[in-house]
A and B are shown apart, each in its own frame.
Chain A
Amino acid sequence: MTDAPLLRISNLAVEFGPKKNPLRVIEGVSFEVPVGGSIGLVGESGSGKSVSSLAAMRLIPEQSGRIAEGDIELMGRDLLAVPASEMPKIRGSEIAMIFQEPMSSLNPVMTIGDQIGEALMLHGEKDKKRRRERTIEMLRLVGIPNAEGRIGAYPHQFSGGMRQRVMIAMALSCNPRLLIADEPTTALDVTIQAQVLELMKRIRRELGTAILMISHDLGVIADICDRVVVMYAGRVVEDADIRSILTRPAHPYTRGLLRSVPRRNDTSDRLFQIPGTVPVAGTIKRGCPFRSRCELAEAQCEREMPPMFKFEGDQRAACWVTAREASAAEPEVKV
């Protein structure tokens, strides 16, 4: 198992709602994060990006949802077989996560120092002084000025960008192998976003932490990631290295997405637009979820969900039409 990926998600399905009449919000989701790699997860709002990543942490809210199908492996270890009481050991130390909302993701009644210290304590650092030192070190690392002076501060005394950096410091404090970042910059301004993105890149470079970056912004992904997984309505529709995605996207949705973003050298009068509206994840029971908005849609798209065809290189996409055109290979496993 030497070259096993750090995280492998295969054929994952998550349901919400009553067991009798569940809503499958993601289905057949498969992707891998290699050791030290950097994977981007893009897609429209509600396409299942967060749910997929929460599933990897086994943090799907128990009351309303559950993992219905699929496997999640962390370094070859079957995460779904780990008893629930063992998960806390893995969370934070093996996989850490930062969330979209820097404003609400920190506990408002605990000091910054305590919150980072807690993570350290939970993963074995019992010595108070060393915890403090490490906390300061982490805050320095993420570029909080006057770190010593600010460990006693409360989250509300920090700006959004600083809070997001605190979140990152907390997530990194136990040297996780994998950092899941769920839209870490969406709530931030452009100039602050730039700071955070730079920080993430540095961390990956210096600490070798693998990153699973979730965003709806292809620009952000392009900046950070080696590889991109594109989701649409609860399914993975394309999975390829960043270069392929940007230069020759295989799925019509990915293509549309790229074209509808105004570019620097774009001189056309009108933007390219994908017609129609985004379906709610899980409501499309049959066929390709993108077909109603797809220029290329055919009869087959109505009937059958396309499998992930293997395209040139390491590129995979779920489209009958483009696969045929590119004479892409049939997938090894049919979904």
Chain B
Amino acid sequence: MSDPILTAEGLGKTFGGDTGLFGKSGEAVRAVDDVGFSVARAETLALVGESGCGKSTLGRLLLRLIDPTDGVIRFDGKEITKLSPSQMRDMRRHLQIIFQDPFGSLSPRRSIADIIAEPLEVFGLERSRRKRRDRVAELLDRVGLPSAYMDRLPRSFSGGQRQRVGIARAIATSPAFIVADEPVSALDVSIQAQIVNLLQDLQRDEGFSYLFIAHDLAVVRHIADRVAVMYLGRLVEIGPKDAVYNLPQHPYTQALISAAPEPELDGPNTRIVLEGDVPSPSNVPKGCAFNTRCPLAQEVCRRERPLLREVAPGQMAACHFAEPNPVKLQPRGDPPAT
């Protein structure tokens, strides 16, 4: 972690809650709260958590697609939270994003050549139209699509192919840091592997850093170097992949990892089933946000918000009871059916 390409400190975002013209006020949603971490060069940091916990919001904040309510982001040592809009536009060359939805993220009425060429055009990387087309062909080749397709509209492509177009657009300017917001979760199982492999190949060849957002823990385990776990807008655990998977510190991480079904015959025995639902982010519980569902919750958890602290080398967790040998939750799953 000596040379982080990107760091975030105390990052927070609140949606809504502002007073309107006629005195109406929306419900404030604290989507991201006091998040800090860094990503090293050529590293993949995976971000997992339940739906609505603020993963995408965090990803967007890092690229300043939305402006943070508080906190600082540094890219390559420069504080990008301070940049003017036009400076930020220039900076986008180095910061790119791949979206979850391969259908929605391509402008439906523009050919894929236009879509991929757009960043080249914006940053003046290839001035002539011809050159741009050559470069588009190269990029298509890179992501494994025949360049003969380039004048077609996105609608003639399958999900996996579109996701490749999205990747080509993201890497067109050779960025240093890419947010991949659930890039495979909308794809068929048999296609997911293709895209995961492509992303890995690209990283190996070009040295990108990824923030890889996902909810599929199996995929995360495969691709990530480090894993960050989010719950209700807060980081609850972050650490090297193996450490987090093998010795999860936070009870939530434990539950998450145990609950993910795997095509194994002995899977269900070890499952920890949490009670209840994720609270609404507009109404985060006091103290530890997880206390409403945590089997270990004590008085202190309802009172005091646990801070992220290093528990094992490189592994941090935000739990009052986290320690090098954490309390293991007992699986509460039922015995397998017969």
Contact = CB atoms under 8 A, between A and B. Distances in A.
Contact of A194 (B196, B271, B293): B271
Contact of B190 (A223, A247, A274): A274
Interface in B158-207: 158, 160-161, 188-194, 196-197, 200
Interface string A214-231: 001111111110100000
A19 interface: no
B190 A191 contact: no
Contacts of B158: 277-278
B262 A222 contact: yes
A257 interface: yes
B150 to A, nearest CB: 18
B271 A224 contact: no
Interface string B299-338: 0000000000000000000000000000000000110110
A199 B273 CA distance: 11
Contacts of A272: 193
Contacts of A115: none
Interface stretch (B20-28, B65-73, B128-136, B217-225): B217-225
Given A201-B334, A263-B218, A278-B158, A190 B50 contact: yes
B15 to A, nearest CB: 19
Nearest to B158: A277
A270 B200 contact: yes
A207 interface: no
Contact of B196 (A38, A195, A271, A275): A271
A273 B194 contact: yes
A44 interface: yes
B263 interface: yes
Interface string A190-208: 1111110110011011000
A219 B262 contact: yes
Contact of A191 (B50, B188, B193): B50
A198 B262 CA distance: 15
B30 interface: no
B51 A217 contact: no
A287 interface: no
A310 to B, nearest CB: 23
A242 interface: yes
A191 B259 contact: yes
Nearest to B333: A198
A306 interface: no
A162 interface: yes
Interface in A165-218: 189-195, 197-198, 201-202, 204-205, 216-218
A273 B256 contact: no
Interface residues of B, number: 45
Interface string A256-278: 11101111101001111111011
Nearest to A145: B276
Given A190-B256, A274-B190, A275-B194, A222 B263 contact: yes
A325 B276 CA distance: 50
User: Which of A44, A226, A258 has the largest count of B CB atoms less than 10 A from its CB?
Assistant: A44
Contacts of B277: 159, 161-162, 192
A92 B194 CA distance: 41
Nearest to A158: B277
A222 B264 contact: yes
A45 interface: yes
A112 to B, nearest CB: 15
Interface string B14-57: 00000000000000000000000000000000000011000000
A212 B333 CA distance: 21
A190 B188 contact: no
Contacts of A218: 189, 263
Nearest to A245: B263
B334 A202 contact: yes
B278 interface: yes
Contacts of A274: 190-191, 193-194
Given A194-B273, A270-B200, A264 B193 contact: no
A35 interface: no
A217 B221 contact: no
Given A194-B259, A219-B261, A271 B222 contact: yes
B333 A217 contact: no
A246 interface: yes
B11 interface: no
B288 to A, nearest CB: 16
Q: Top 6 closest A-B pairs, CB basis?
A: A219-B261, A262-B222, A194-B259, A260-B193, A218-B263, A273-B193
16 contacts: A45-B188, A161-B277, A191-B256, A194-B272, A195-B274, A198-B271, A201-B334, A222-B261, A222-B263, A223-B268, A260-B190, A260-B193, A262-B218, A262-B222, A272-B193, A274-B194
Interface of B: 50-51, 158, 160-161, 188-194, 196-197, 200, 215, 217-219, 221-222, 245, 255-256, 259-265, 267-268, 271-274, 276-278, 293, 333-334, 336-337
Given A193-B261, A277-B158, 10 more contacts: A159-B277, A190-B217, A194-B273, A195-B274, A205-B334, A246-B264, A258-B263, A260-B193, A271-B222, A278-B191
